[in-house]
Amino acid sequence: MTSLSRRALVLAVLTSSAVARAQSASVDVQDLPPLPPAEDEPSSSATVLAAATAEEDVVVGAAKREQTLGNVASAVTVITGDRIRRFGYRTVGEALSGVAGVYIQDSRLTQQIGIRGLQIPGGFNSRVLVLVDGATINEAWGAFAGVGWDALVSIDDIARIEVIRGPVGAVYGTNAFFGIINIVTRGAAEGSRAWGRVSVGNITGAVATAGFAQGGVNKQIRGSVLAMTRFGESSTIEAIQSEPLEGDGANTLIAAVVGTYGGSFGQVRAYRALRESPFAPYDSDPAKDPPYGLYNYQLLVEGGHTRELSKRLTVSGRGYLNLYRFYDRIYYTDDVFLDYGDALTGGAEVRGRYALRADGKLGVTAGAEANYSRTESRSYTEGMFDVDGVKVPLDFSIQGVYSELDGQPLPWLGFTAGLRFDNNTQSSSRLSPRAALFLTNSEKYGAKLLYAEGFRNASAFEGAFEDGVDFSANPDIKPETVRSFEGVLWARPIAGLSTRLSAFYWKAKDVIEQLPDPDDATLLQFQNVGVYVTQGVEAEATYRNSAGWYGFGGLAVARVGSAQAGADLTYGEVVDAPRVTGTVGVSTPKLADVGHVSAAAVYLGPRHTRTDENGDGLPNSKRWIGLDATIYVPNIKGFDFTVGVRNVLGTRDEVPAPGDYDRFPDPDTTIVVPKIPGEGREFFVKVGYAR
């Protein structure tokens, strides 16, 4: 048994005894995952608090190994399983919306992640690398990764979510551009042997999940399944149709099986998701029934082995297969147009970590990764491929090697320095460095100085896709690059309270954006538009105590500018770039020893929308406050209950719309749809049983 496992086992035993002695004052046992404490064994009086906070102190996604928050080369937020359950989050996107500097925009095609004022219209989360238990979810055709009901993992499977800000290309290569979302699922030792839950909401609709787990830490098998059917709601947008727009449906099916045996591991995950949009994208007919429909299918298979060859050397290897299909049906007045985007990626990675000093205070991590992708898009009028069909195949491979050195030469001084080289056979070769300097004082407070660079290759969809109707290809498209500077101050001034203050500067070049084709304004094309810069400050805090109180808060102020190639930066006019975002939440201990009452609020500042066909500005999206309330009852004879209200105030967010929703009534006219309404007030109830 490793030292990490021994510490976790000791903590789990101490936690159980401590909770037994103070049931009325402590958080539920299921809310205290057995994760590693500090090196010194805690006293029993502090065990509950140590267990509650341990989950927030360990990060694995930033460097493909375990690190404490004070020694990770990024600004990181960990969303714990306890927080997920107390605040009633139903998707990864809902959980992310409560994170400092992060905001979620639902375009009614997918939920899109914005970070520190940057949310490029027309993107599909391609600038954020999404991982599930270390496996990359972003696929090869459009680099898409879903975080809503189109995600590859259900919320009931999740132990914690790590939000890692800034480029991490030095470890992961492409797509780790604005950050990483690392989703860690619950092991057999952390969950129930069998469980099931059903929920219903007046908008989201009906959701059912079930799962099982057998075994322990080193030998286990677990699986889960989720099914969802959305009821939806109606909206009115005069630019599209004077009558209420219907057809806001969706359905999802997710399944997963995961297993470990000794040092070997494997996972198989698959999903199918349909999303209908009432806003008639791509100039489709809004009166049609069924409306426009977008399908996503994905299958991920990953397996590997990790082995400790000596006290200083650990090696691991993994292989993976990622299959994906995009499919949409565009209903015009007289016919149906179909688009397909297929991708198959197979790859492997080997890496190792060697402790250059016996005490572990100097070490090096090195690895190599290679994959091969086959992609193809097909677009045609239904039943008429031989007449107007367009097929675009694109195959490519990526080879990457990386290394990172980390050390702690003095008790108060640490560092990290890393570099990765990537070669893409359809794009250019790239070097991605990062470096960090850490100053700490007994885990009570410290500072970080961070530098990193990243890149993102244009996806097959962005560079090669054309359909003869709505999109044209851009064979000259170039990769995006980003450079980041950040200073972080963090402190734990009292037991249970963690705080962070960051000052950041990101500069992204050759940013790819969906714009009208300069040769034909009725077509959309992905183009390198120039430079985006975001700079500002970000603060966040979390508080947990042994009595069961849980609170969090965050605020980000970002000054975002953009410029066409060779021009000066212009600030304050970037689309969908709120200057201020904020979040706050509080959850009570078990009231009457039954359940937690939680409330959370999200603030989004005003955001610019796009310009019309003459280049004139259109009405901005107004500032928005979203207030949620939840009652969570964790255990009554094996049953758990959640009752929640989303958007209590009922005021709809005004989401800046991408060019997908613009209308073209004739070849010489463009009607720009600058914004679409977010969801209204929703009530939901969730009931589960576990044993």
Element (H, E) at 96: helix 92-96
**Main-chain phi, psi angles of 150, to 5 degrees:** -100, 25
Between CA 244 and CA 237 the distance in angstroms is: 8
Sites in the chain below the pLDDT cut of 50 = 1-52
Query: Which amino acid, one-letter code, is at 609?
Result: T
A 10 A CB-CB count for 416 gives 23
Tokens representing 658? 């991408």
Tokens representing 299? 């299958």
For the stretch 427-479, pLDDT in tens is 889 999 999 999 998 778 999 999 999 999 999 999 999 998 888 999 999 99
Per the CB < 8 A criterion, the answer to whether 121 and 105 are in contact is: no
Per the CB < 8 A criterion, the answer to whether 66 and 126 are in contact is: no
Half-sphere exposure of residue 277: CA atoms within 13 angstroms, side-chain side: 29
Residues 6+ apart with CB under 8 A from 602: 97, 98, 103, 581, 582, 583, 625, 626
Tokens representing 181? 């979302």
Half-sphere exposure of residue 51: CA atoms within 13 angstroms, side-chain side: 32
Q: Say what the pLDDT of residue 21 is.
A: 34
Between CA 110 and CA 296 the distance in angstroms is: 11
Half-sphere exposure of residue 467: CA atoms within 13 angstroms, side-chain side: 23
**Main-chain phi, psi angles of 244, to 5 degrees:** -55, 140
Per the CB < 8 A criterion, the answer to whether 574 and 561 are in contact is: yes
Cis peptide leading into 42, omega within 30 of 0? no
Question: Residue 493 burial (CB < 10 Å; 0-12/13-18/19+)?
Answer: exposed
Q: Say what the pLDDT of residue 39 is.
A: 35
Is 544 strand, coil or helix?
Answer: strand
Per the CB < 8 A criterion, the answer to whether 289 and 312 are in contact is: no
SS3 content of the chain, % helix, strand, coil (to 5): 10, 55, 35
Q: Say what the pLDDT of residue 54 is.
A: 54
For 110-147, the DSSP string reads: -EEEEETTB--TT--STTEEEEETTEE---TTT-----
Between CA 12 and CA 14 the distance in angstroms is: 6
Give the CA angle between residues 423, 424, 429 to the nearest 5°.
Answer: 45
What is the model's pTM?
A: 0.92
Query: Which amino acid, one-letter code, is at 41?
Result: E
Half-sphere exposure of residue 676: CA atoms within 13 angstroms, side-chain side: 25
Between CA 180 and CA 158 the distance in angstroms is: 16
Tokens representing 471? 């999109």
Q: Say what the pLDDT of residue 26 is.
A: 40
Query: Which residue is listed with tokens 């990181």?
Result: 76
For 465-486, the DSSP string reads: ---SSSB---TT---EEEEEEE
Between CA 565 and CA 511 the distance in angstroms is: 10
Count how many residues are written for the chain.
Answer: 691
Going by DSSP bridges, is the β-strand pair 128-132/179-185 parallel, antiparallel, or unpaired?
Answer: parallel
Per the CB < 8 A criterion, the answer to whether 67 and 58 are in contact is: yes
CATH number for 69-588+596-604 (one of 3.40.50.920, 2.60.130.10, 2.40.170.20, 3.30.2420.10): it is: 2.40.170.20
Sorted by where each begins, the domain ranges of the chain are 69-588+596-604
